Amino acid sequence: MSESTPIFVSYARSDSDRVLRIINDLEAHGFRFWVDQDGIYGASVWRTEIVQAITRAPLVLFFASHASCASDNVAKELTIASEERKPILPVFIDNVKPDAGIRYQIAGVQHLDWRANPGRAMERLKVLLPRYNPDIELADDSLKNVKRASERRTLGKRHITVRLILVLASLVVAAGLYAYIWSKQEGNSRRSGDISTAESSGSKSQVLFGGEPPANQSSAILRALIIGNGTYKHLPISDNPLTSAHLMREFLKRRGFEVFELYDGTRTQTLALLAQYGATKKRNDSSNSTEGRLVCFIYYAGYGFQYKGVDYIAPVDCEGDNEYQIERDAIPLDTLFANGGARKGPNRIVLFGAQSGATGFEEARKSYSPLTSALLEYLRDDTLDIRGAFMRIVRDVVSQTDNAQRPEFYDSLLQPLSMKTLSSAVSEDTTTIAIFDACRGPVTTGR
């Protein structure tokens, strides 16, 4: 029986005691790892052995600590892993903020926080690692069941792929046959003079097979409003909203959206951006052009509050979370919707990062934003129905945070909608997609 390919472990030598205890525990359950314990970095063979180990590995397990995030060697390993398109699974064993280079390598990647609950993190590792190492022979019956379930999912995906290939092949054959029949009929029509014409506004269009002329197909106007706040003056600072917002910007730009964006904006700056964005929406609404209807995509990441049933976003100069400061400094969500698409009415879908009045969301998102990670994962499938994608996102976030974070969404979409069909949206009403990756905790009362 062939042995499984070892998982590469990226860590700092000064963390050996902590890291090797974790690795030894996992090896007792059948996992195999490639760990540099012999100081290869000081030898001339570093490039060969390290690079080959990363290239062969199904996964790079990165133990993030103060020492590893300051290590040039660890940075090199993560860079090689990224260049080789190897998945990276960060495990945070210290409360550390990686520098920009490492954050770039792990942006949007699922993280494990060892500090909060080592036992839970270990169990999570035992579930995740078999997904990257299908050849592993596990010692625990429970882990074998996890592996078999993963293999069944993989096999099911392969069967679906084969079926799709067969369906596509059938469609290609059918299309070829249809084109052949159509060319025959067109040739007969040209010879007998049977092609009818329809005149409209002085122009002529051919009508085949006696049908009506096709309706004008127009592309929708795609506009996105993105706000990310993390460097607060009076609230705890976090760079994760900024990272999440930049990822969403790149995602939407690649899909043809015109992006209006603001990062670490004050209340005045945010209101100015909303006015600019709202002005473009009003111009489109008052236009009688034949262009497609407006599609608004609103994304906010940062602090949020809820007071008397009203949701607020917090600009970076918001001074606190009591009712007086919220009413003075924060911005109601309805102000965003008024400028970027209505909150109520047809053709709206809105996703909140947490349930109304939920607390504890900030604790769940200190290391990463599970909502945005899941959002980018599912919306990359252009054909996936957005309503269905949001349902999967809620399920995944609840699972990843052990129920510490429970998103919710509501919608009034008139028809199925995907990222692919957004570009041809022709609804009479503006189509609005809104995501608020923010806490909705209650406000402290009493001035």
Determine the Cα–Cα distance for residues 72 and 321; give it in Å rounded to an integer.
Answer: 41
Burial tier of 203 (Cβ tally within 10 Å: 0-12, 13-18, 19+): exposed
Determine the Cα–Cα distance for residues 396 and 407; give it in Å rounded to an integer.
Answer: 10
Among 139, 157, 180, give the residue marking a domain's end: 139
Average pLDDT for 266-282: 85
Are residues 293 and 429 in contact, defined by beta-carbon separation less than 8 angstroms?
yes
Stretch (H or E) spanning 411: strand 408-411
Is 11 part of any domain? yes
Residues 134 and 228 in one domain: no
Determine the Cα–Cα distance for residues 244 and 259; give it in Å rounded to an integer.
Answer: 15
CA-closest candidate to residue 86, choices 122, 112, 62: 62
Per-residue pLDDT, 426: 53
Residue 288: what are its φ and ψ, rounded to 5°? -100, 20
CA-closest candidate to residue 69, choices 96, 88, 108: 96
What are 378-388's pLDDT values in tens digits? 888 888 899 89
CA-closest candidate to residue 104, choices 226, 254, 228, 243: 243
pLDDT of 277 strictly over 60: yes
Is 209 part of any domain? no
Which has more pLDDT, 114 or 192? 114
Residues 262 and 398 in one domain: yes
Residues 291 and 433 in one domain: yes
pLDDT-derived band at 192 (thresholds 50, 70, 90) equals: very low
CATH code for the domain of 309: 3.40.50.1460
Average pLDDT for 363-369: 49
Instruction: Find residue 436's DSSP bridge partners.
Output: 300, 352
What are 65-115's pLDDT values in tens digits? 999 998 888 888 888 888 888 899 999 999 998 877 787 778 767 789 999
In angstroms, the Cα distances linking 218 to 251, 345, 365, 427 are 23, 23, 41, 11
What residues contact 132, with CB distance under 8 A and at least 6 apart? 7, 58, 59, 87, 89
Residues 227 and 135 in one domain: no
Are residues 22 and 33 in contact, defined by beta-carbon separation less than 8 angstroms?
no
CA-closest candidate to residue 313, choices 335, 297, 344: 335
Break the chain down into helix, strand, coil percent, rounded to 5: 45, 20, 35
Which has more pLDDT, 370 or 441? 370
Instruction: Please tell me the least confidently modeled range out of 54-68, 91-105, 240-254, 286-300.
Output: 286-300
Residues 127 and 254 in one domain: no
pLDDT of 133 strictly over 70: no
Among 139, 158, 192, give the residue marking a domain's end: 139
Specify the residue for token string 């995906």. Answer: 157
Per-residue pLDDT, 416: 83
Is 173 part of any domain? no
pLDDT of 242 strictly over 90: no
Which has more pLDDT, 210 or 251? 251
Q: Most confidently modeled of 25-39, 181-195, 282-296, 411-425?
A: 25-39
Average pLDDT for 150-177: 58
CA-closest candidate to residue 433, choices 396, 365, 378, 395: 378
pLDDT-derived band at 15 (thresholds 50, 70, 90) equals: very high
What are 212-225's pLDDT values in tens digits? 333 334 467 889 99
Average pLDDT for 224-252: 87
Torsion angle of the four alpha carbons 108, 112, 116, 118, in this order, in degrees rounded to the nearest 10? 180
What are 396-413's pLDDT values in tens digits? 888 877 887 888 888 888
How many domains is the chain partitioned into structurally? 2
Q: Integer distance in angstroms from the first to the last C-alpha of the chain?
A: 71
Please report, as a single letter, which amino acid is at residue 26.
Answer: L
pLDDT-derived band at 209 (thresholds 50, 70, 90) equals: very low
Residues 135 and 242 in one domain: no
Is 152 part of any domain? no
Residues 129 and 247 in one domain: no
DSSP code per residue over 187-239: HHHHHHT--EEEEETTEEEEEGGG-PPPPPP-PPEEEEEEEE----SSS---S
pLDDT-derived band at 259 (thresholds 50, 70, 90) equals: very high
pLDDT-derived band at 283 (thresholds 50, 70, 90) equals: low
**Which domain range does residue 246 map to?**
221-442
Is 154 part of any domain? no
Among 99, 118, 139, give the residue marking a domain's end: 139
Is 38 part of any domain? yes
pLDDT of 149 strictly over 50: no
Specify the residue for token string 């939407």. Answer: 252
Determine the Cα–Cα distance for residues 131 and 58; give it in Å rounded to an integer.
Answer: 10
Residues in the chain: 447
pLDDT of 249 strictly over 80: yes
Residues 357 and 247 in one domain: yes
What sign does the dihedral 255-258-424-248 (CA atoms) show? positive
